[in-house]
Amino acid sequence: MAPAESWWQTAVVYQVYIRSFADGNGDGVGDIAGLRDRLPYLARLGVDAIWINPWYPSPLADGGYDVADYRDVEPLYGTLPEADLVIAEAHEAGIRVLLDIVPNHSSDQHRWFVAALAGDPKARQRYHFRDGLGPDGALPPNDWQSVFGGPAWTRVPDGQWYLHLFAPGQPDFNWENPEVRAEFEDVLAFWFDKGVDGFRIDVAHGLVKADGLPDGGQGNDAAPGLVQHNESHPAWDQDGVHDVYRGWRTVANRYAPERIFIAEAWVPNNERLARYLRFDELHTAFQFDFLRAPWRASILRTVVDDAIKEAASVGAPPTWVLSNHDVTRTVTRYARSQPDHLIETDWERSRWAEEPADYALGLRRARAAALMQLALPGTAYVYQGEELGLEEVEDLPNEVRQDPIWEQSGHTDVGRDGCRVPLPWSGDTAPLGFSTNPDATTWLPQPQHWASHTAAAQDRDPDSTLNLYREALSVRATTWVGAGELEWIPTAPEVAAFRRGDAQCWVNTGEKPVELPTDATVVLASVAGTANQLPADAAVWLVAD
Ligand code: GLC
């Protein structure tokens, strides 16, 4: 008999972008109080765990991925005692809690970097400080570019340069320094001691850089990027990083119940990804190919096969992600013409947005994709607002944009604010129930038409996307969890259909309806009224009679 599965091998994890989830203190910014108020909503939705984006003190140069203190909570979001409360209350509601750890870089306000800037040589060793090139050192030490645009180096008043693969306010740690290693192992223990069930690891492939920080070289000197990172680069995915995670696993293994890790690692292929999942390293890693896949059955099939195969090679569960706080929302991604290859760089969103969007079509496909995602073996991540069928807000006024990509790209990329707009909960006018204060101005403005997308409005509509997710999560628990291996059912090329045990999932990405098997009964469909035929851009779950 196969060993019993642990919760994290089949979990549905809901991503809470805390700044935009719910505002409990009336200032227009989401917070822990708001999250606590909404735990019953999450329990009713049926998720197994939440992953909370960084909630640590931060100047918010990159939405909190610039951490000033890893052992505290950002005052805008609440206090450490409130963090303890939300962890305990989530557990009472049967929901596990994953935090987001940001080990590649700190904020420039972190006490270590402040000391480094003041000139303390020991403190500089914890980051990457170098002299510049050229006779007067006025050129950056190498050709690396920031993921967000511009050089990855900033010069300080005394003439040295420091490395930041992201914003200048996010200096990269030097992971060759044992103090950095010890510090992070201690931070993990700090939160594990508070009962946190695990961590999502930010930029997990970035920590260790190639010895001597060599140039990326020809063809590689442009932004190494996250999504479009197809070639090897001395800034990313270095073998030395695995040693860090062996140390982290040792820390996690000291705890019961199990504490787990999920890596965000944009590596070139699933083979490289699987290396992070060896038995003495991390438990799971996001497989982003699913999120990059266009709405085409042939590509979806390949992506699924590849992900399952590579995860299985190291005994890890595959993970499925349709969107997150860094990419265009699913509805919008599916609302335009679909390429015939994986989307190389979502960060070209500004150019893409020039094509008109058909949101009804996008939503229809997103609902179908959700049924596919939730039927696959392994774990599924749901980004807040996916369950409401929200689209990307593409027309934010430029003056409200906060994502550093907007400035660093020289205003050529609008950045990621459009998927981070505060959630609509109820009512007809902004802040749409997001805040306890009806007069609050939300930190990013909500579109007026989201009044019809609110959780309250969808609660009343049996065919809403919210109710589809609720039902899917409940049926998943009894139908798909533990259902065994996936086997494809031969079908038309524009259909992806698979069976796991007695259950089947059919997805039609084509333009014409397809006949469904007659020896199975529909248990859930993305389009109401589906019985013998599966319409275009729809998905269905069936159970053999
Ligand atoms: C990850 C985060 C993203 C952040 C970046 C730098 O990709 O998901 O939001 O900007 O790391 O920390």
Locate the domains of the chain by residue range: 7-105+178-465, 111-163, 485-544
CB 508 within 8 A of CB 536: yes
Give the position, in ligand 1's atom list, of the atom nearest the Cα of 62.
10
Give the position, in ligand 1's atom list, of the atom nearest the Cα of 166.
6
Strand 538-544 to strand 503-508: parallel, antiparallel, or no bridges (unpaired)?
Answer: antiparallel
CA count, 13 A, side-chain hemisphere, 66: 20
Q: Which of 219, 317, 310 is nearest to 273 (CA)?
A: 310
Q: What is the pLDDT of residue 223?
A: 43
Q: Which two tokens stand for residue 119?
A: 């000139």
Catalytic residue among 31, 100, 108, 202: 202
- Below-50 pLDDT ranges, the chain: 1-2, 220-229
Rounded CA gap, 316 and 301, in Å? Answer: 19
Q: What is the pLDDT of residue 351?
A: 64
Q: What is the pLDDT of residue 224?
A: 41
The finding on whether 326 has its CB within 6 A of some atom of ligand 1 is yes
At the topology level, CATH places domain 485-544 in Immunoglobulin-like (2.60.40)
Rounded CA gap, 310 and 257, in Å? Answer: 27
The residue whose C-alpha atom lies closest to atom 12 belonging to ligand 1 is 65
- Can you give the three-state secondary structure of 276-338, one letter per residue? HHCCCCCCEECCCHHHHCCCCHHHHHHHHHHHHHHHHHCCCCCEEECCCCCCCCHHHHCCCCC
The residue whose C-alpha atom lies closest to atom 3 belonging to ligand 1 is 326
CB 154 within 8 A of CB 128: no
Residue ranges with strand state E in 142-294: 153-155, 161-163, 198-201, 260-263, 284-285
Rounded CA gap, 486 and 185, in Å? Answer: 38
Mutate which of 100, 166, 413 for ligand 1? The one with the most ligand atoms within 8 Å of its CB, which is: 166
Q: Which of 5, 508, 537 is nearest to 298 (CA)?
A: 508
At the topology level, CATH places domain 7-105+178-465 in TIM Barrel (3.20.20)
Catalytic residue among 31, 62, 197, 264: 264
The finding on whether 62 has its CB within 6 A of some atom of ligand 1 is yes
**202 is an active site residue:** yes
Mutate which of 286, 326, 416 for ligand 1? The one with the most ligand atoms within 8 Å of its CB, which is: 326
Distance of CA 381 to the CA centre of its chain: 8
The residue whose C-alpha atom lies closest to atom 4 belonging to ligand 1 is 65
The finding on whether 21 has its CB within 6 A of some atom of ligand 1 is no
Torsion of CA 338, 342, 347, 350, to 10 degrees: -20
Q: What is the pLDDT of residue 58?
A: 98
Q: List CB contacts of 375: < 8 A, sequence separation 6 or more.
A: 476, 480, 498, 500, 503, 505, 541
Query: Around Cβ 490, how many Cβ atoms within 10 Å?
Result: 6
Mutate which of 62, 98, 228 for ligand 1? The one with the most ligand atoms within 8 Å of its CB, which is: 62
Residue with tokens 């505060």: 422
* CATH superfamily name and code, 111-163: Oligo-1,6-glucosidase; Domain 2 (3.90.400.10)
Rounded CA gap, 251 and 260, in Å? Answer: 10
Query: Judging by beta carbons within 10 Å of its beta carbon (0-12, 13-18, 19+), is residue 399 exposed, middle or buried?
Result: exposed
**84 is an active site residue:** no
Write down the pTM of the prediction.
Answer: 0.97
The residue whose C-alpha atom lies closest to atom 9 belonging to ligand 1 is 326
Q: What is the pLDDT of residue 348?
A: 58
Give 116's DSSP letter.
H
